[in-house]
Amino acid sequence: MSTLLSIFVTLVSLGTIVGCFLLLMWCRNDKMGVEEGQSMGHAFDGIEELNNPLPKWWTYMFLFMIVIGLLYLLAFPGLGNWKGLLGWQSSHQDIRSLAQGKAAAEAAKSNGSAVEYDRELAKADAVYGAKFKELAYQADGKTYKAIEEIAADPEARKVGQRLFLQNCAQCHGSDARGGRGFPNLTDAEWQWGGKPSDIKTTIMNGRQGIMAAWGDILGKDGVKEVASYVLNLSGRKVDMVEAKKGETRFAVCAACHGPDAKGGTAFGAPDLTNTTWLYGGSRQVVEETITHGRHGVMPAWKDILGEDKVQLLASYVYGLSHTGESAQ
């Protein structure tokens, strides 16, 4: 945070504690002109208020809390930009890339400063690592079981679902049915291929779907015509004269989407002949896609999760569309 904000936060935090301390002292000393144990001169329904001192145990407890509070602020980050004497961090917050993240985690491990997120990851690996191995590997402990085989194992599927909910659900949904721009993983349509090895490659290395913007090249009318052709492919009623013109223009699209528009897994180009849409199938959205292009990014998980977990995740995802098991 900025220096000014840091000073402000520090002043407010310390000011509150000092304020509490002064209030306590004032309450201890002030007799308000009345002897201890004597009436303050207020009576409510016959009950009089006496000038009683604060109980000693309570006063000491209050002081103790103030000391604990100050020690806490000294040891941990919290006072503006103060990093705390223990060097504790919840996570590597300034990290912008995977490589930086790895370096930071290594550094934290070697100089013994505690980053909560790394600790939890290490703990989870210690507890579950062996289980992941047992579910993913054959009895020899060296070769992976086939993805189809893991997908048929109810226990592995449960573990896969856990991993999916932790790492994938924020984009693909907890039921894996996706959303706008995030593919449904439970259906039969695959941008990048639905074979076990395709799915594993997708998760290991990530994918980038690049559909260029055609607005400038085709012009407004061109976009309209080709959109009519595309919409008609999935059975929509359109102006057939326009669609015919669009069909000729589709030659430039066929490079990726295929001459029959059924898509191509080499470029991650979706099938345009069915009613499954990644971005939406209304005329407006299809024209928007063609005019401005799309660029969907699936992150790579190899370095984040490691191959054992990816093997289980690939099996889980494969199972969602191949064994009739739904995610929930």
**Which CB, 25 or 188, lies closer to ligand HEC?**
188
Distances in Å between the Cα of 114 and the Cα atoms of 1, 111, 183 are 21, 9, 37
CB of 154 to ligand HEC, least distance (A): 19
Question: Is 317 among the residues that bind ligand HEC (CB under 6 A)?
Answer: yes
Chosen residue from 190, 196, 245, 319 binding ligand HEC by CB under 6 A: 190
Interface with ligand HEC includes 272 (CB under 6 A)?
yes
Kindly state the smallest distance separating residue 144's Cβ from ligand HEC, in Å. 16
Least separation in angstroms between CB 86 and ligand HEC: 32
Regarding 210 and contact with ligand HEC (CB under 6 A), the answer is: yes
Nearest residue to 314 via CA among 100, 41, 305: 305
Separation CA 24–CA 130 (nearest Å): 55
Q: Can residue 298 be called a binding residue for ligand HEC (CB under 6 A)?
A: yes
Residue with tokens 């739904």: 326
Q: How far apart are CA 284 and CA 247, in angstroms?
A: 19
Nearest-approach distance from CB 63 to ligand HEC, in angstroms:
49
* Buried residues in 141-177 as b, exposed as e (16+ CB within 10 A): eeebbebeebbbbeebbebbbebbeebbeeebbeebb
C-alpha distances out from residue 243 to 117, 213, 323, Å: 55, 20, 39
Q: Which tokens sit at 320? A: 């969602």
Query: Which residues ranging from 74 to 103 are in contact with ligand HEC (CB under 6 A)?
Result: none
Q: How far apart are CA 163 and CA 121, in angstroms?
A: 13
Whether the CB-CB separation of 109 and 39 falls below 8 Å is answered with no
Binder of ligand HEC out of 92, 214, 245, 320 (CB under 6 A): 214
Nearest approach, Cβ of residue 171 and ligand HEC (Å): 3
Q: How many CA atoms lie within 13 A of 107 on its CB side?
A: 9
Q: How many residues in total does the chain contain?
A: 328
Establish if 243 lies at the interface with ligand HEC (CB under 6 A). no
Task: Report the amino acid identity of residue 127.
Answer: V
Look up residue 133 and give its two tokens: 């191995």
d(Cα 198, Cα 300) in Å, to the nearest integer? 14
Candidates 185, 238, 243, 312: give the one binding ligand HEC (CB under 6 A). 185
142 to 171: interface string for ligand HEC, x by CB under 6 A: -------------------------xx-xx
User: Residue 215 has which token pair?
Assistant: 């607005």
231 binds ligand HEC (CB under 6 A): no
**Number of residues lying near ligand HEC (CB under 6 A):** 48
Q: Does 191 bind ligand HEC (CB under 6 A)?
A: yes
Instruction: Indicate whether 283 belongs to the interface with ligand HEC (CB under 6 A).
Output: no
When binding is defined by CB under 6 A, the residue of 151, 269, 312, 320 that contacts ligand HEC is: 269
List residues binding ligand HEC (CB under 6 A).
167-168, 170-172, 181-183, 185, 190-192, 199, 202-203, 207, 209-212, 214, 226, 230, 252-253, 255-257, 267-270, 272, 277-279, 286, 289-290, 294-299, 301, 313, 317
